Amino acid sequence: MDYFFRYLVGVTILVVISFCGCEGNKHHFDKGSYAMKREDMVKNQIEVRGISDKTVLEALRKVPRHMFVPVESQDYAYNDHPLPIGFDQTISQPYIVALMTELALPKKSHKVLEIGTGSGYQAAVLAEIVGHVYTIEIVSDLGKRSEKKLKELGYTNIHMRIGNGYLGWPEEAPFDAIIVTAAPEEIPVALIDQLKMNAKLVIPVGKVFQDLMVITKTKDGIKKESIIPVRFVPMVGDEK
């Protein structure tokens, strides 16, 4: 009996300790095995392909990507490909998220705009690095679901709006960088207008064949660079 009592006390203490360990932790939904998969993802998909910005790698190590995909796909969340997130949309391949983030040259003091909130994952990665993230999603139910998820995960520096990303977010402009995660056929003019001088717009452009492009606003005009071929969902709507 005495032995059983001690056993019971021991188990109770262990349970209490493991619950307390979770309190106050922003990413308390995380599990050890996912942390290992995440580390593996950063090493074998992202660092090896040349992403070297420490803040970007750190953000990818931190954000619990499995929390941004449907429960039945959580085990595949750290694999080297995009995944469906419902509403006919996808969460991008981890490497593409890392690449676009690095190309935007994010800094702690920055205010960044993202077009196409989707699952909220790219917004969360940015929010680990920059001061404020503004993100716009055109599919209302998807946007609301992601806004709730980001709140649950403890992100207080992500501001989300349901709307047409072609118009940007003029009230909060100008931005230090803009990342677009759906592909328009042409570069939306409003987004260039809403960039600060020397800031970057990172955007997939095209229909079937798309190029990931970096547009830099300079005092002499717009500089365009083509980075790699990509495949994003189309940016819907137009500039009106």
Binding mask 102-141 for ligand SAH (x = CB under 6 A): -------------xx-xx-xx-------------xxxx--
Provide the annotated active-site residues.
Answer: 92
Cβ distance to ligand SAH smaller for residue 134 or 166: 166
CB 216 within 8 A of CB 177: no
Burial zone of 3 (CB within 10 Å; 0-12 exposed, 13-18 middle, 19+ buried) = exposed
Cβ distance to ligand SAH smaller for residue 133 or 215: 133
- CA gap 27, 82 in Å, rounded: 22
- Max intra-chain CA distance, the chain: 84
Kindly state the smallest distance separating residue 219's Cβ from ligand SAH, in Å.
29
Which of 207, 211, 218 lies closest to 96, judged by CA? Answer: 211
- CA gap 100, 63 in Å, rounded: 16
Token pair 């409003």 is found at: 190
Cβ distance to ligand SAH smaller for residue 165 or 206: 165
* Candidate residues 155, 166, 169, 175; the one interacting with ligand SAH per rule CB under 6 A: 166
CB 82 within 8 A of CB 93: yes
Torsion of CA 51, 53, 59, 65, to 10 degrees: -10
E strand or H helix that includes residue 214: strand 210-218
* Candidate residues 112, 182, 202, 230; the one interacting with ligand SAH per rule CB under 6 A: 182
* Candidate residues 142, 160, 201, 230; the one interacting with ligand SAH per rule CB under 6 A: 142
Q: Is 235 in the site for ligand SAH (CB under 6 A)?
A: yes
Binding mask 20-59 for ligand SAH (x = CB under 6 A): ----------------------------------------
Cβ distance to ligand SAH smaller for residue 21 or 170: 170
Choose the stretch contacting ligand SAH; rule: CB under 6 A; options: 27-35, 161-169, 202-210, 220-228. Answer: 161-169
Torsion of CA 76, 184, 118, 161, to 10 degrees: 170
Q: Which residues 59-88 are close enough to bind ligand SAH by CB under 6 A?
A: none
In the complex, the residues that contact ligand SAH under the rule CB under 6 A are 89-92, 115-116, 118-119, 121-122, 136-139, 142, 164-166, 181-182, 233, 235-237
